[in-house]
């Protein structure tokens, strides 16, 4: 089988498994993607730090051969058309560049990683190498690979890098049910920050809401979470519509006195609680101004309340 990457890849080539893949760092993400891809591409090696770890990944995937970096020299790596790096973000650059320096990549090969924060530019590729680099970041929570196998279909994937690489990877990820979209390499960090806000920090916000509830004397441990229905309704309204249709509450109405009472209640709470409340309140005020339900005068008064402590500090 030729290891040269064709300039164009007809769909028939995928079904015949004419291309091969090596996966480096098969954890939660790598195991899931390899399992899905193994139906469309030949999986050669699963390369982990230790051979037992690689074997566990192979057992889950149902394809590939295990390779342990700590017990086998990189010179024993099998060739592959595509090299997928799915180790933790802080290891991608060093691991990927070790693979590149091993001399096992051939002209026409693709090497890509699945980090959201890093672009493909972290790979130190000699200009004469004729090897194509890319990154593909699935916007998906890979907490349980078995569950991800069932829920991955429809997952948006941000893709950037060399054109020849992105064309091939766009096609491959579509085959496993993803919805790839292009992103500029220079914008990866800001893009990733947005996904962190929507996923990780949403959890933080919900937990903070529950902590405030406990501080107010509501024992949510003995009863179902009283915020559950409100959270579900709000998320549904936002996803069906937009911020303007989803925003309700005192800032949407321009209720200055209610905001003042909230801020008074937060005076004796941890300072981070008030900072979060005020920061998000300012964004809510901007959304409210586009709803045209609250008067400009009321929103100005709310904004002054939300920023009062910062203004006082600046005047000291």
**How does DSSP assign 141-193, residue by residue?**
--S-HHHHHHH-TT-EEEEEE-HHHHHHHHHHHHHTT-EEEE--GGGHHHHHH
Of 315 and 54, the structure prediction assigns the larger pLDDT to 54
Structural domains of the chain, count: 2
Verify that 29 and 137 share a domain, yes or no.
Answer: yes
The residue whose two tokens read 């998000």 is 280
- pLDDT tens per residue, range 180-237: 999 999 999 999 999 999 999 999 999 999 999 999 988 877 667 889 999 999 999 9
Same domain, 127 and 259: no
If you average pLDDT over residues 61-71, what whole number do you get?
Answer: 96
Mean per-residue pLDDT, 293-299:
96
**Of the residues 139, 161, 187, the one at which a domain ends:** 187
Whether 67 and 99 have beta carbons less than 8 Å apart is answered as no
The domain of 60 spans 11-187
Residue 4 lies in a domain: no
**Contact by Cβ (8 Å): 73, 51:** no
Mean pLDDT computed over 59-88: 95
CA distance 94 to 234: 43
Q: What is the mean pLDDT of residues 21-37?
A: 97
pLDDT at 16: 38
* pTM for the full predicted model: 0.80
Secondary structure (3-state) at 96: helix
Count of Cβ atoms closer than 10 Å to residue 281 Cβ: 21
30 and 170 belong to one structural domain: yes
pLDDT reported for residue 124: 83
Share of the chain above pLDDT 70, in %: 91
Same domain, 75 and 44: yes
Helix, strand, or coil (residue 122): helix
Task: Determine the Cα angle at 105 with ends 104 and 111, to 5°.
Answer: 130
Same domain, 17 and 61: yes
Write the pLDDT tens digit of every residue in 83-114.
999 999 999 999 999 999 898 999 999 999 99
Residue 50 banded pLDDT, cuts 50, 70, 90: very high
pLDDT of 10 over the 80 cut? no
303 and 279 inside one domain: yes
Structural domain contains residue 6: no
Pairing of strands 110-113, 42-48: unpaired
Average pLDDT over residues 25-41: 96
Measured from the Cβ of residue 8, the count of other Cβ atoms closer than 10 Å reads 9
**Which tens digits make up the pLDDT trace of 197-207?**
999 999 999 99
pLDDT greater than 70 at residue 17: no
Within-domain flag for 5? no
Cα 144 to chain centroid distance, Å, stands at 15
SS (H, E, C) 11-73: HHHHHCCCCEEEEECCCHHHHHHHHHHCCCCEEEEEEECCHHHHHHHHHHHCCCEEEECCCCC
- Does residue 11 carry a pLDDT above 50? no
Q: Residue 174: name the closest of 154, 147, 191, 160 by CA.
A: 154
Q: Are 180 and 114 in contact (CB under 8 A)?
A: no
Query: What is the pLDDT at residue 129?
Result: 78
Provide mean pLDDT across the span 116-131.
86
Token code pair at residue 120: 């493909």
Q: 178: domain CATH number?
A: 3.40.50.720
Model confidence pLDDT, tens digit, residues 148-172: 999 999 999 999 999 999 999 999 9
202 Cβ contact partners less than 8 Å away, ≥ 6 residues apart: none
In tens, the pLDDT along 245-277 reads: 999 999 999 999 999 999 999 999 999 999 999
């Amino acid at each position: 089988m030729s290891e040269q990457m064709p300039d164009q890849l007809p769909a028939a080539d995928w079904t015949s498994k004419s291309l091969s893949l090596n996966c480096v760092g098969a954890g939660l993400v790598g195991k899931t993607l390899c399992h899905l891809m193994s139906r469309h591409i030949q999986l050669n090696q699963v390369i982990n730090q230790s051979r037992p770890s690689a074997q566990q990944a192979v057992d889950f995937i149902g394809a590939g051969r295990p390779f342990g970096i700590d017990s086998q020299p990189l010179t024993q790596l099998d060739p592959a058309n595509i090299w997928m790096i799915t180790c933790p973000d802080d290891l991608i650059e060093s691991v990927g560049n070790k693979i590149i320096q091993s001399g096992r990549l051939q002209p026409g090969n693709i090497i890509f990683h699945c980090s959201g924060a890093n672009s493909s530019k972290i790979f130190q590729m000699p200009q004469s190498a004729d090897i194509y680099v890319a990154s593909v970041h699935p916007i998906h929570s890979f907490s349980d690979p078995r569950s991800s196998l069932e829920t991955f279909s429809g997952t948006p994937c941000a893709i950037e890098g060399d054109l020849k690489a992105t064309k091939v990877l766009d096609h491959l990820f579509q085959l496993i049910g993803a919805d790839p979209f292009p992103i500029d390499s220079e914008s990866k960090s800001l893009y990733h920050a947005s996904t962190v806000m929507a996923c990780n920090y949403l959890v933080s916000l919900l937990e903070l809401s529950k902590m405030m509830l406990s501080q107010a004397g509501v024992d949510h441990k003995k009863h179902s979470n009283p915020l559950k229905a409100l959270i579900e309704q709000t998320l549904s309204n936002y996803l069906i519509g937009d911020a303007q249709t989803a925003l309700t509450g005192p800032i949407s109405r321009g209720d200055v006195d209610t905001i003042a009472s909230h801020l008074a209640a937060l005076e004796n709470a941890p300072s981070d609680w008030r900072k979060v409340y005020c920061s998000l309140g300012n964004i809510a005020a901007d959304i409210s101004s586009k709803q045209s339900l609250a008067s400009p005068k009321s929103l100005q008064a709310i904004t002054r309340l939300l920023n009062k402590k910062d203004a006082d500090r600046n005047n000291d």
